[in-house]
Copies of this chain bind each other. A is one copy, B any other.
Amino acid sequence: MPVKAGQPLDPAATRARILAAAADVFYRRGIHAVGIAEVAEAAGASKLSIYKNFGSKAGLVEAVLRDRTQRVRGWHDERNVEAAPAGRERVLAVFDLVASWYAEAGFRGCAMINAATEDRGFDGPPSQLAREHLGFYRDLFQRLLEEAGVADGRTVARQLVVVLEGATVVSAVDRDPGLGAQARTIAGVLVDAALPVDGGDR
């Protein structure tokens, strides 16, 4: 059957369906482990549609990662602002957000980091997108930290990126959602250590 009977003919929807299915199956089972045929089946599409829309498997992977990093950025940008008033708590709210992510069924770590790990080529799109993804977190933390009154926001932001990525990878390997709360605790200690002294320790 050439096209699905009764289905509206909508190229944009087909592309979106492929993108969503590929993101899911790549994330769950790994990029190398999944063939184009499996993506096509999961998307309810044909291989022709995949190659018409994305050119190659590498193109599909890049599109998936680009879409994913944008979604994550938007998620943080909109959810964080409403989480808490600017200041220390809004910095830590980032870790509340990722804690809820760790607790999701099917959590498998950061898709960009995973892809970069599979793709050992250091100049390929997956690695570059992973670097940019870390850069987003660094900039986000720096902005929130400076709003919170931390003097050297850039340095502490880099520290929080390390904590965030560490918690993500350990949570993925250990299958322990408690890493989210743990990362929040660590971040609190680091932020307090960088805050001008007024509240005392502990």
Where the two chains meet, the residues of A that have a C-beta atom closer than 8 Å to any C-beta of B are 28-30, 32-33, 108-109, 113-114, 116-120, 122, 127, 130-131, 134, 158-159, 161-167, 169-170, 172-175, 179, 182-183, 185-186, 189-190, 193, 197, 201-202
The answer to whether B186 and A197 have CB atoms under 8 Å apart is no
Interface-centre pick from A29, A183, A186, A190 (highest chain B CB count, 10 A): A186
Point out the residue from B118, B120, B185 that lies within 8 Å of A159, measured CB to CB: B185
The dominant DSSP class at the A interface is helix
CB A140 to nearest CB in B, in angstroms, measures 15
The answer to whether A131 and B173 have CB atoms under 8 Å apart is yes
In the complex this chain forms, how many copies of it are found? 2
- Known contacts A166-B169, A183-B162, A190-B189: does B134 contact A120 (CB below 8 Å)? no
The answer to whether B158 and A165 have CB atoms under 8 Å apart is no
Point out the residue from B28, B30, B120, B163 that lies within 8 Å of A162, measured CB to CB: B163
Which B residues touch A29, using CB under 8 A? 120
CB A115 to nearest CB in B, in angstroms, measures 9
- Known contacts A32-B33, A122-B175, A201-B201: does B163 contact A170 (CB below 8 Å)? no
The answer to whether B118 and A109 have CB atoms under 8 Å apart is no
Question: With A and B bound together, what is the CA distance between A8 and B133 in angstroms?
Answer: 52
The answer to whether B134 and A108 have CB atoms under 8 Å apart is no
Question: With A and B bound together, what is the CA distance between A74 and B127 in angstroms?
Answer: 31
Which B residues touch A169, using CB under 8 A? 113, 165-166, 169
The answer to whether B116 and A173 have CB atoms under 8 Å apart is yes
Which B residues touch A114, using CB under 8 A? 117
The answer to whether A130 and B173 have CB atoms under 8 Å apart is yes
Question: With A and B bound together, what is the CA distance between A30 and B197 in angstroms?
Answer: 47
- Known contacts A166-B162, A166-B165, A173-B130: does B30 contact A120 (CB below 8 Å)? yes
The answer to whether B113 and A173 have CB atoms under 8 Å apart is yes
Point out the residue from B113, B131, B186 that lies within 8 Å of A190, measured CB to CB: B186
